[in-house]
Chains A and B, each alone.
Chain A
Amino acid sequence: MKTINKIYTVLILFMLYAPILVLMLFSFNSTSNTGVFTGFSFYWYRELFRSAAAFAALKNTLVLAISSAVLSTLIGTMAAIGLRKMRNKYVKGLITSVTNIPMMNPDIVTGISMMLLFVFVGTMLGQQDKLNFWTLLIAHTTFNIPYVYLNVSPKFQQMDKHLPEAALDLGCTPLQAFFKVELPCIFSGIVTGFIIAFTMSLDDFVISYFCSGSDFQTLPILIYSMTKKEVTPDIYALSTLMIVAILTLLILSNLSGSKEERAKIRALRKKRAAARKEAKA
């Protein structure tokens, strides 16, 4: 039974990741042949780095990811701070569900509705380029806020609610209590939220597709437009780089979380052992 379980798991993982592995493999192909691996080379990576369009798109993507992650981290964290003391659980539940909607909503619906809004408002304001960097930034920040909120808000719930009072008791003003005690306690949540927001922004295609104009393209959009002509292995190279970047970030964010968990478990174990010792003594 156990071996069947293992085989099953490996099979599923293989099916999930086979396409990506093939893509990575072919990004190192020496020719543009799609069916046969003719030899290992970095040719397509060199080719990619020579392309000005790819570089512009990479720069755009990074600028957008960083700025939208910063903005959404600020807004999401402030929302979590504002709602931390809310006692009415119905209102709180309502707010949490409303925050969840953008995550559950199909990207295509979010994308189209945002585009509609931007065009509508842009027309009202009499703008020429209705879709530009700023509309993309607004769109990305919007869909990122829930991820930040959902990472920060539980940190407040895990925190001993007497900690801010202990700080006041020892002489902190409410503002000092926040910065010296509450902020450090939720900081890991903020970092995780930021990394996830950054990753989501890097990763997004559908919403960006609807909300970007012709003069500000992100990597996913560039890749899509490149595939329209002819798929060349430099796209594989680009995709591989993105996968590696996103994977690294995800591992990082998981590590920052799990390190804490592990420390907690260790602390708990120690405490039990100590209690046993004390009981014996």
Chain B
Amino acid sequence: MKQEKVIQLQNISKSFDGEKILNNINLYIRDKEFITLLGPSGCGKTTMLRLIAGFETPDEGTILFEGKPINDVPPYQRSVNTVFQKYALFPHLNVFENIAFGLRLKKLPEEQIRKQVKDMLALVNLKGFERRNVERLSGGQQQRVAIARALINHPKVLLLDEPLAALDLKLRKDMQVELKNMQKRTGITFIYVTHDQEEALSMSDTVMVIAEGEIQQIGTPTDIYNEPVNAFVADFIGESNILDGVMTADYKATFSGHTFDCVDSGFEKNEKVDIVVRPEDVDVVPCERGMLVGDVTGVTFKGVHYEIIVDIRGFKWMIQSTDYVAPGDHIGLSIDPDAIHVMKKSRFSNMFGDYSSFSDELEKLSDLSEEENE
């Protein structure tokens, strides 16, 4: 299926106060797709959206909308609408007037405005909320008003900046489904920003992973999860054990002192590589049948499975298993060829992947500090 490119960024760079926030970004966004910009806090996601919306101008490069450069087009003339991170609803207007704002500017007749707002309220499940004060709505309801206010203008592209970040977990899950449905029903291109990898994987047609102002990888959620291009992506998306390895031959990878069969080829002989093994792809077996053997140093019950930390030659692996093993046990591990993913070395090599300092407490702490950064 060949789809039209709605938005293209060509060689876009942007600096603030002499610091390069976006570095030579090149990408295109296809019509009617749900694309997610995924990356840690501060990597430049919001800046990229603001460039597309027209609130910032790039230092270098061109932004194209349906093939035409729009660098000099002001925000109010772009057929792009934004759902702001903290909603930015107009406090002096009620729900109806907030949603009708764009239509009033277009000077549409009153009945038409009334009808469209009504339809929109139905779409976002806020029937009967017309006269409500927006400041007295719950976070989830404000969120819906913000979406309705943007969608009513039938933009070509809707930009959403971490729209669910302020909602609690359950509501967030529900809204993810609703947003995805809205996108399908309206056929509007969604450019969605989040730092939550689970959200990105579950909603998107295309995921774009950004780090340090550069695009690391663009692909479908499955591609990104199964075939991460480097250690950063592997670590950021889901849990992964990332190991130093050597490709001794096509389909042969050596790491942790064992040569494994794998499905990757095309590397130079004895090329140093990064190896990714997902925790759920490792099988626990008796020692004598194990390709690798190690000692269990920690076990955490996670409901569906146990999260087991295994020390193998000083490298702490994380594996997930439904069978219980006790700390101190000597166990064997077995890995199928297609569970081994081989990546070229990158500047992110050796920065991630070892679970030696891992503990739930630490993870919670880093989650908290991330929230504070918002």
User: Which residues of chain B have C-beta atoms less than 8 A from A166's C-beta?
Assistant: 82, 84, 88-90
Min Cβ gap B370→A in Å is 21
Kindly provide the distance from the CB of A197 to the nearest chain B CB, expressed in whole angstroms. Answer: 23
Verify B135–A169 contact, CB threshold 8 A: no
Produce 1/0 per residue, A156-193, CB < 8 A to B. Answer: 00001011011111111100100011001101000000
B332 to chain A, nearest CB (A): 44
Chain A residues with CB below 8 A from B84, complex form: 162, 165-166
**Does A92 reach chain B (CB closer than 8 Å)?**
no
Q: Which of A128-174 contact B (CB under 8 A)?
A: 160, 162-163, 165-173
Q: Are B101 and A170 in contact (CB under 8 A)?
A: yes
Stretch at the interface among B29-37, B73-81, B199-207: B73-81
**B138 is contacted by which of A170, A173, A271 (Cβ under 8 Å)?**
A271
Interchain CB contact (< 8 A) of B135 among A165, A172, A181, A264: A264
Docked-complex contact B140 and A170, CB < 8 angstroms? no
Given contacts A166-B84, A171-B153, contact A270 B136 (CB under 8 A): yes
How distant is B132 from chain A, measured CB to nearest CB, in Å? 11
Residue contact A162 to B102, C-beta cutoff 8 Å: no
Residue of B nearest to A171 (CB): B105
Q: How far is the CA of A160 from the CA of B88 in the complex (A)?
A: 7
B76 near A172 with CB under 8 A, answer: yes
Alpha-carbon distance between A209 and B290 when the two chains are bound, in angstroms = 100
Contact A271 B102 (CB under 8 A): no
- Among B52-85, those with CB < 8 Å from A are 53-55, 74-76, 80-82, 84-85
Is the pair A163, B105 in contact by a Cβ cutoff of 8 Å? no
User: A278, B170: Cβ atoms under 8 Å?
Assistant: yes
Which residue on chain A has the smallest CB distance to residue B81?
A169
Tell whether, in the assembled complex, residue B90 and residue A163 are in contact, meaning their CB atoms are under 8 Å apart: yes
How many chain B residues touch A (CB < 8 A): the figure is 35
Interchain nearest-CB distance for B238 vs A (Å): 27
Using known A-B contacts A160-B88, A163-B88, determine if residue A170 contacts B153 with beta carbons closer than 8 Å.
yes
Query: Binding site of B, secondary structure by majority: helix, strand, loop or mixed?
Result: mixed
B105 A278 Cβ-Cβ under 8 A: no
**Residue A279 at the chain B interface, CB threshold 8 Å:** yes
Query: Which residues of A sit under 8 angstroms from B92, Cβ to Cβ?
Result: 181, 184-185, 187
What is the CB-to-nearest-CB distance from B338 to chain A, in angstroms, rounded to a whole number?
42
Chain A CB within 8 A of B40 CB: no
Residues on B with C-beta less than 8 A from A176 are: 105
Collect the chain A residues with CB atoms within 8 Å of residue B153's CB.
170-171
Q: Please report the C-alpha to C-alpha distance between residue A185 and residue B88 in the assembled complex, in whole angstroms.
A: 12
Are B81 and A170 closer than 8 Å at their CB atoms? yes
Distance between Cα atoms of A145 and B141 in the complex (Å): 41
- Residue of B102, B136, B140 near A171 (CB, 8 A) is B102
A247 within 8 A of B: no
Decide if B82 touches A169 in the complex (CB within 8 Å): yes
Of chain A, the residue at the smallest CB distance from B50 is A165
Determine which residue in B91, B92, B139 has the highest number of CB atoms from chain A within 10 A of its CB, and name it: B91
- B349 contacts across to A, CB distance below 8 A: none
Q: Which residues of B contact A281 (CB under 8 A)?
A: 170
> How far does the alpha carbon of A275 sit from the alpha carbon of B138 in the complex, in Å?
7
| Inter-chain contact B76/A168, CB cutoff 8 Å | yes
B252 contacts A by Cβ under 8 Å? no
B149 interfacial by beta-carbon distance below 8 Å: yes
Give every chain A residue within 8 A of B114 (Cβ-Cβ). Answer: none
Complex formed: what's the CA distance from A176 to B141 in Å? 27
Contacts of A91 in B (CB 8 A): none
Q: Residue on B with the closest CB to A163?
A: B88
The smallest C-beta distance from B74 to any residue of chain A, in angstroms, reads 7
B183 at the interface (CB under 8 A from A): no
Q: Give Cα A79–Cα B100 distance, bound, in whole angstroms.
A: 32
Q: How far is the CA of A184 from the CA of B98 in the complex (A)?
A: 14
CB nearest neighbor in A for B85: A162
Q: Does A271 lie within 8 Å of B139, measured CB to CB? A: yes
Contacts of B86 in A (CB 8 A): 160, 162
Q: Which of A171, A173, A187, A278 contacts B168 (CB 8 A)?
A: A278
Q: How far is the CB of B77 from chain A (nearest CB, A)?
A: 8
A94 at the interface (CB under 8 A from B): no
Residue of B80, B85, B90, B106 with most partner-chain A CB within 10 A: B90
Are the CB atoms of B105 and A170 closer together than 8 Å?
A: yes
- Complex alpha-carbon distance, A264 and B134, angstroms: 11
Q: How far, in Å, is A232 (CB) from chain B's closest CB?
A: 51
* Cβ–Cβ < 8 Å partners of B133 in chain A: 263, 267
Q: Does B287 contact A (CB under 8 A)?
A: no
Cβ-defined contact, A171 with B135, below 8 A: no
Task: Check B74 against A168 for contact (C-beta < 8 Å).
Answer: yes
Query: A165 to B133, alpha carbons, bound, how many Å?
Result: 21
Contacts of B102 in A (CB 8 A): 170-171
Closest to A162 in B: B88
Give the complex CA separation of A270 and B134 in angstroms: 12
Is there a chain B Cβ closer than 8 Å to A255's Cβ?
A: no
Which of B81, B89, B105 has the most chain A CB atoms inside 10 A of its CB? B105
Q: How far is the CB of A161 from chain B (nearest CB, A)?
A: 9
Q: Is the pair B138, A274 in contact by a Cβ cutoff of 8 Å? A: yes
B285 within 8 A of A: no
What are the residues of chain B within 8 A of A171 when measuring CB–CB?
Answer: 76, 102, 105-106, 153
CB-CB nearest 8 A-B residue pairs: A274-B138, A162-B88, A166-B88, A184-B92, A170-B102, A168-B75, A171-B105, A267-B136
Q: List 8 A-B contacts (CB under 8 A).
A: A162-B85, A162-B88, A170-B76, A170-B150, A266-B136, A267-B136, A271-B138, A279-B170
> Other than the known A166-B88, A168-B55, A271-B137, what 13 A-B pairs have Cβ atoms closer than 8 Å?
A162-B86, A162-B88, A165-B82, A167-B90, A169-B75, A169-B80, A169-B150, A170-B81, A171-B105, A185-B92, A271-B138, A274-B138, A274-B141
